[in-house]
Amino acid sequence: MAFSLFIVISWFVCILTCYYVIRPISIKLVRFILTSFLCILLSYITCQNLPQFDSLGTFTVVICWLISIRLISLTSFSTTTLLTFQTFLLKTLWMCFPILPRKTAQNQWPIIYSIILIIIKLLINHWIYRWMTKCEVGVSYQGIFMFYLALITISYVIEIEMIFVRILTLDKYTLESFTNFPIFSTSLREFWGRRYNRIMHTIFKESIFEPIRLEFSSSTIGALTTFIINGFLHVHICLVSFGGKSSLFPTFMFFLLHGIACSIETKMRIQLPKPVGWIITHIFLLITSPLVVNPFIDKRPSFVMLNPPLFINVGWIPKLPLPNFCP
């Protein structure tokens, strides 16, 4: 508990230092080096000795990376923008409390429809979890699909919080949605840019893509840099959560390939029909996905059993019948 408090205080001191000491420095490279050093050091200390196969450890790694990315951007590339310390702090910690004005948020349904969607996602997610614990799912496309379905339906946890925020603020504010039906993506750029993990997309776009694009006057460099950094983030997740080193290079290659593919899409002059784009997009996702999901599926028994979904043991929640076969 004392160590956790030390970590929290250290990050707050880091934010104070970035705003009051480093940000006023006139040389951009010096600001970048000093901020990066502080963030890397604190991230290393924070992520030491985290429990393996634990979703809290994975979440800790992600938070460290996103805070660091935001801090480096605000301290190194946004010094011409006037920011109070309160605004600086809120922007840095936005991923922990991704609150948005209701009018500017995407994928916002009436509250009653959102509640119905939460119930559907919860039932499907619990069903997938119970099926995965019953079956010995290997690294196959069926196993990958089950993992993907579990991943996009676990967002019911965030959407429950979203409902409370909307009710408490009389529907004036909401939370950024985790996903926006990624299954409907008709291009890789739509998948990564509009539909999958909206919270991380917002951080990456505002803090990596836009600054790099403006710095080098190139969207291609901005996109590739964003995917490369995302690749390193997921490599760190694999290292902390699973310990093995064999999956680190394939994980990085997944994001590098998708960065290259998105850059090619940007340069293409051909507008494919939406059904054709949908097929090509999901074939590419299916072919490349083993690179990034293999460690999760290989360690599935340990990871799944240690990380049950929320409300899985609540007796009054209906349980969908499990199939008599394994995928």
E-strand stretches of the chain: 99-101, 173-175
At residue 308, the pLDDT reads 84
Tell which residue, 216, 239, 254, 220, has the closest CA to residue 64.
239
Examine the pLDDT at 103 and tell me if it is beyond 70. Answer: yes
129 close to 309: Cβ distance less than 8 angstroms: yes
Distance CA 326, CA 41 (A): 45
Q: What is the DSSP string of 68-104?
A: HHHHHHHHHT-TTS---HHHHHHHHTGGGS-EEETTT
Distance CA 271, CA 74 (A): 36
Examine the pLDDT at 257 and tell me if it is beyond 70. Answer: yes
Task: Express each pLDDT in 151-186 by its tens digit.
Answer: 888 888 888 888 998 899 888 888 888 888 888 899
As a whole-number percent, the residues of the chain with pLDDT over 90 amount to 38
124 close to 89: Cβ distance less than 8 angstroms: no
Q: For residue 175, list its beta bridge partners.
A: 99
Has this prediction a pTM greater than 0.85?
A: yes
Angle at which helices 219-242 and 55-76 cross, to 10°: 150
Angle at which helices 290-298 and 219-242 cross, to 10°: 10
Between the alpha carbon of residue 227 and those of residues 88, 92, 232, 255, 325, the distances in Å are 25, 21, 9, 6, 38
